Chains A and B, each alone.
Chain A
Amino acid sequence: MADVLPEAFLRAVADGFPADFLTREPGELQEYGRDWTRVHSPAPSAVAFPRTTDEVARLLALCNQYRVPVVPSGGRTGLAAGAVAARGELVLSLQRMNRMEPVELLGNTVRVQAGAVTEAVHHHCAEHGLTWPVDFASKGSSQVGGNIATNAGGVKVIRYGLTRQWVLGLQVVTAQGQVLELNGALEKNNTGADLRQLFIGSEGTLGIITEATLKLTPLPGKQDVFLFAVPDVAAVLRLFREARRAPLLLSAYEFFTDKCLARVQRHRKLRSPFEAPSGCYVLMEAEGKDAAEVEGWLGSLFERGLVTDGTMAQSPSQAIELWALRESISESLSATGLPHKNDVSLPVANLEAFCSEMDAVFGERYPGWEIALFGHIGDGNLHINIMKPEGMEKAEFLAHTKKADPTMFELVRKHGGSISAEHGIGLLKKDYLAFSRSPAELEMLRTLKRALDPNNILNPGKILDV
């Protein structure tokens, strides 16, 4: 690892910033040098903890002057190695910038610093009957800045859409240390290209998000949480067809296979609500419009053999227990083994065709391997987790999956899908970006990057190389 921090840079930081601004303590470097992924060894040269936008701006100006590469770092729950610093970069952690302003009750907005934890924002707004509907299992650690930088999805996308829909304004610090205020708190602002959108989903490669004005929505009404047992993925999709037309407002339609459940049971000791095991499970959350109509619909699912078993939470505690089965999957797969994760999306209409061909790819590339499938299937989003076979070396496993990935991505491309639905590209999926973006698009992305960050100091090497 090359220590890229020049003496002059370190002196400038020591002179211009508080004593506790920078750490080079080895334990901290390990911790802040990586996200949720375990593929790269963390090796940052230092971690900076600014408290204000001004500190971020002054730091970036110095980094630009001394060509110090910077890895913006949020809650480090990212799954694409976007917040990984494996090559001596300076990690810029937003965690001290976690202030939240009072909720603005007329416009239903709230201004927060980028380091505010997603769940803290939820609690902050819930008091007023409002929510920022970006919601997933890592919300207790992930930060608003990280959510925006990855344009995060989650478990409520089917009702609310992606993070992008819920960001009104951004404050961004550029590679040169300029502070941009983009769109303020405006709902409407047709004054040329919307620069705010450029930074949403850019994974820290175009600018540092320091503050955001978030758009809020009323907390939903009473949600019913269902878990259904169905035999296979085809049945998951058949049920989805029905759920789309049901007298219900869907807020989640998630599925997982028996393999996922087995890992969850092993790691979290949670139990299945059903007597008999089943191939697949669907977790559905919905707001019923008319109780009698909903009941008729539910009854018909059994009559028509669309589900083999089902339950509905009888209390908030039970709803949380059912959700835990779905939300513990990522954590349980990592705790009980080494997953190779693919997070693909398909046009919802092409899911059936894709899934029927996917098994053939598994059979050819991973004969007899354990594959844990789950995901936000209602958004056309599948999380494909190839589990490292017992006894296989990690390096061999990674080499094998690296060789096999193109076959899967080829299938994704064939069906008009994306190789990264919501986790981003980071370092992990970089080699495969061309499966989802045309050469012309890639060139345009490079042009943008060069224009905004000519010295390539912002998260260099992530998403694509310039």
Chain B
Amino acid sequence: MKILVTAKRVEDPESKIKVKPDGSGIVQEGLKYKINPFDEIGVEEGLRLVAKHGGEVVVVSIGGKEVQEQLRHALAMGATRAVWVNHTGPLDQMGVAGLLQKVAEKEKPDLVILGKQAIDDDQNQVGQYLAEFLGWGQATFASKVESLESEQEKNKVPALQMGADNKSVRVVREVDNGLATLECALPAVVTTDLRLNLPRYASLPGIMKAKSKPIEELTPAKLSVDVTPKVQVLKMASPPPRKAGIKVPDVATLVDKLRNEAKVV
């Protein structure tokens, strides 16, 4: 079984993120980066699946040279090899999905796992576009029922269930009103939700081994994808700052404020 997993480089939420005064983007200086947490969950799920069914996890990232850091992180967790689509400059969801489509057609994985969204732009689109471009089934927001402290989690059993003949995948997904179970024929595209698993820490031997694992370099040109963005960011702005809380002297005042000011009761 071959599983292709995406690994987007995103700002680490531990960095202070500030919007530039002119609204053209965010201030880059001093920012630290990490792998998109949903992608980290994707890598973990991929690794569990191949541990159970055999095969390999191939990890892919699009961006400048620096995205190799995130690829190395995924390799250190246990992915076998990496594909780096070297591209700097603006890119929209269609562009990302187009590039991933070509990578998928080249790699011919049984399953592509993406995060449900990237925590920088929170778009929640690439997985859906990709499934459409490939004409494959999709199951977004893959989650699972068991608590994360379950035996299953301890033993790192995959939450995604493969069909008996490895021709389909069963996905429990989180939806607005509960959980829905989908069965998709393979190959398929799955996007991960937060509760799917707890990704492992890369072990030190794994981190060292990752340094010599192969990273294949591709470019949009080599993949014949036109990545001219169709979506343009016009302006960025910080959300309005939250007002400081107040202390109320007693319950009656609280109820009064909830009723007459906040109008929630």
Contact = CB atoms under 8 A, between A and B. Distances in A.
A298 B208 contact: yes
Nearest to B211: A295
B136 interface: no
B203 A315 contact: no
B202 A316 contact: no
Interface in A289-339: 295, 298-299, 302, 309-312, 314-318, 320
Contacts of A314: 34-35, 73, 76, 201-202, 207
B15 interface: yes
A312 B12 contact: no
A309 B203 CA distance: 7
Contacts of A299: 208
A295 B208 contact: yes
A38 B13 CA distance: 36
A317 B207 CA distance: 17
A100 B200 CA distance: 42
B218 interface: no
A298 B204 contact: yes
Contacts of A320: 14
Given A317-B12, A320-B14, A312 B34 contact: no
Contacts of B201: 273-274, 311, 314, 318
Contacts of A298: 204, 208
A312 B33 contact: no
Contacts of B13: 317
Given A316-B15, A317-B14, A302 B204 contact: yes
Contact of B34 (A295, A310, A317): A317
A366 interface: no
Contacts, number: 51
Nearest to B205: A302
Interface string B1-37: 0000000000011110000000000000000111100
A316 B12 contact: yes
Interface residues of B, number: 20
A19 to B, nearest CB: 19
B50 interface: no
Nearest to A322: B201
A271 B198 CA distance: 10
Interface residues of A, number: 18
Contacts of A311: 201-204, 207
A309 B32 CA distance: 27
A435 interface: no
A163 to B, nearest CB: 26
A354 interface: no
Contact of A316 (B14, B35, B76): B14
A295 to B, nearest CB: 6
B207 to A, nearest CB: 6
B204 A310 contact: yes
A432 interface: no
A226 interface: yes
Contacts of B34: 314-318
Interface string B194-221: 0000101111110110010000000000
Contacts of B208: 295, 298-299
A314 to B, nearest CB: 5
Contacts of A274: 201
Given A317-B12, A317-B13, A312 B35 contact: no
A228 to B, nearest CB: 8
A312 B202 contact: yes
Nearest to B34: A315
Interface of A: 226, 271, 273-274, 295, 298-299, 302, 309-312, 314-318, 320
CB-based closest 8 A-B pairs:
A315-B34, A273-B201, A310-B204, A316-B14, A311-B201, A314-B73, A316-B32, A316-B12
26 contacts: A226-B204, A273-B200, A273-B201, A295-B208, A295-B211, A299-B208, A309-B203, A310-B203, A310-B205, A311-B201, A311-B202, A311-B203, A311-B204, A312-B207, A314-B35, A314-B73, A314-B202, A314-B207, A315-B35, A315-B73, A316-B12, A316-B15, A316-B34, A317-B13, A318-B34, A318-B201
Given A295-B211, A316-B14, 10 more contacts: A271-B198, A273-B200, A273-B201, A274-B201, A302-B205, A310-B204, A311-B202, A312-B202, A314-B35, A316-B34
